[in-house]
Structure 1
Amino acid sequence: MNTKFQNDINEGLSKALKSLPSKYFYDKTGDDLFVKIMNLPEYYLTKAEFDIFKNQTKNIIAALDINPNVYFELIELGAGDGTKTKELLKVLISENFNFDYIPIDISNNALKQLETNLNTEIPNLNVTKKQGDYFNVLDGLKTSNHPKVVLFLGSNIGNMEDEKAKRFISKLSSSLNPNDKVVLGVDLIKSKDIVLPAYNDKAGITKAFNFNLLNRINKELDANFNIDQFSHQPEYTETEGIARSYIVSNTDQEVHIGALNKTFQFKKGEKIHTEISRKYNDEILNSILENSSLRIVTKLLDTKSYFADYILIKT
């Protein structure tokens, strides 16, 4: 049994304001559901960043200022299915850049699928996959003195509260050497009518993605969550610039988790916080970077200016 999973679920559901870590969305079922989410008409984030990687690949490479003849490590945190990154990889290989691709993801299933696909689509690419949590893997970056380009795409940093994002960026910065680069993909602040449907699609895929976490707890921790007794509730205001997802109890109820030998009480209308998605602008990002040695070189926008890929440099 995954003791870390068990402890995190216990901790989250024992809080006065209940929460569940979004990283546990991702098992095989969760991976498949998220691929479906990325293809939903309402989910603009993946399409917007793909627009940048597809149509501005040369601009990304130019902004990174990498020498084709000098070996570097291209490290991706939270690689997923690699759809966007493949656009960059193909150009780097075709232009004979000297590098290895190191995808990192919490989901071993996602990494295996990515490696299989890359072996077929880009057979000349050197791939060294690593499974693990972002924070834990960062320590391993220090062991290599090769120049590095770190990709952190998909607005994954937006899944962290601002204080945690600051700690993450500070740790990432300390794991890099001067002149190492970071490509940081972030969703930009937009109106509610654009943002909210991305987390509340008509087909209910995002709801199923959130509820998959309850199914995991039922299956892996011997719990008895009745999925029908809960609702999916996303919230967003442009003023705050943070989308939040909740699972809400539809009634007063009890849920027993056998692996914990513990029963949790839920009031009608009580929320379980599952995910945030912070939206950014230059001011917010600079506040996240202020205690690190990472500085903005430039940013690239998609054609609708929904999304930005910032190029950062370690000074």
Structure 2
Amino acid sequence: MEHTIEVNKTFAKDVVNALNQTPKQLPSMYFYNAEGDRLFQKIMALDEYYLTRAEMEIVKSHRAEILKSFLGGDANFRLVELGAGDGTKTKVLLEHFVNEGTDFVYSPIDISQSVLNQLEEGVLKAVPNLKIDCIQGDYFKALSELNSNHLQKEVLLFLGSTIGNFGLEAGKNFLKELSNNLSSGDMLFIGFDLMKDPRVVLAAYDDREGVTRDFNLNLLKRINDELDADFDVDKFQHYPTYNPITGETKSYLVSREAQQVHFKAIDYTLELKQWEAIHTEVSQKYSFQMIEEFAQYAGFKIVRHFTDSKELFVDSLWEKV
């Protein structure tokens, strides 16, 4: 009896739509299955991948100043986190805030209830006295509901360099929409990866061990598993680029030869020419001027920049005007 794969229709539709674009693409949000998560943890520990270490340095060395800035003249606030991940950096702040006797509630937002359950368990283990109120749902919907019951100042956390994965225009529009769901005086604490030596940037996406290459190729393996496709990963090379003028880092999977890939589960055939590229990811790097323009466009004023000692990364605090 032939084994049939149960197809996730959304996954199939998103993958095929992206591959039918010109140039061909794959959605980077699908990097993160169990193997993708494992590889990304490995990436974060690489020598070349400076981003996580730089931001961890910021939250550790500036936590007292960060708290002071969050409070401003207020007695309390709600700390709302978008996409908390495993919460490692957030825990540093939460622990400090609780130890200082701060009156605040921590509200991580995520579309997945199981992610929130894991996060809550992990955070409470590290910070047992924390007041936590998880919110399951879409960012904007959750923020809009919080805003309509506005009882205290909201401080949004958007750590990591997640904004960079949107690209420039989509990033600006995302921040504008965040701003539309906040009240005057609310704050946003957001991470930006700064423009720097182009070789340092490129090395972070093209490490010596090839972990980032495996992370990108794993997306093809996922499609093989979930859509019964026959990608041969050895027929692709991972190729990242960095443009020091625009600040865009892009990753591609390049077909080494002309080939056909069949997706048996959905009866779809992909044709690839020799050296044709599939765009998998964008990771924007920013100048301080670009950050200023982003804040202004979205209806915020910049309160303060917190950087690491090498100025590789910035966590920028903005206030809704």
Q: 1:40 to 1:124 in 2, by over 3 A?
A: same
* Residue in structure 1 matching 2:128, options 110, 123, 131: 123
**5+ long unaligned stretches in structure 2:** 1-6
Q: 1:111 to 1:272 in 2, by over 3 A?
A: farther
TM-score, structure 1 normalization = 0.92
Judge conservation of contact 1:162–1:288 (CA < 8 Å) in 2: no
* Residue in structure 2 matching 1:185, options 191, 203, 207: 191
* 1:235-289 Cα deviation digits (max 9, x unpaired): 1132221111111111111111234321011111111111111111122123323
**CA distance in 1 between partners of 2:115 and 2:145 (Å):** 25
| 2:145 match | 143
Judge conservation of contact 1:31–1:110 (CA < 8 Å) in 2: no
| 2:95 match | 90
TM-score, structure 2 normalization = 0.91
Letter in 2 for 1:24: Y
**CA distance in 2 between partners of 1:28 and 1:103 (Å):** 22
Q: 1:110 to 1:46 in 2, by over 3 A?
A: farther
Judge conservation of contact 1:68–1:96 (CA < 8 Å) in 2: no
Q: RMSD of the TM alignment (CA)? A: 1.9
| 1:227 match | 233
| 1:258 match | 264
* Residue in structure 1 matching 2:223, options 217, 239, 258: 217
* 1:72-111 Cα deviation digits (max 9, x unpaired): 3212212112111111000111112222222234676654
| 2:309 match | 303
| 2:83 match | 78
* 1:132-181 Cα deviation digits (max 9, x unpaired): 6xxx3222211122421111111110111211011101110001111110
**CA distance in 2 between partners of 1:294 and 1:85 (Å):** 23
Task: Describe the SS at the equivalent of 2:164.
Answer: helix
Judge conservation of contact 2:135–2:142 (CA < 8 Å) in 1: no
Task: Describe the SS at the equivalent of 1:240.
Answer: coil
**CA distance in 2 between partners of 1:266 and 1:39 (Å):** 34
**5+ long unaligned stretches in structure 1:** none
Task: Describe the SS at the equivalent of 2:107.
Answer: strand
Identity of aligned residues (%): 43
Letter in 1 for 2:56: F
**CA distance in 1 between partners of 2:52 and 2:171 (Å):** 21
Judge conservation of contact 2:110–2:139 (CA < 8 Å) in 1: no
Task: Describe the SS at the equivalent of 1:288.
Answer: helix
| 2:4 match | none
Judge conservation of contact 1:75–1:101 (CA < 8 Å) in 2: yes
Based on CA coordinates, which of the two structures has the bigger radius of gyration?
2
Letter in 2 for 1:142: S
Report the Cα offset of residue 69 of structure 1: 3.9
The number of residue pairs the alignment matches comes to 311
Report the Cα offset of residue 68 of structure 1: 7.1
Q: 1:255 to 1:126 in 2, by over 3 A?
A: farther
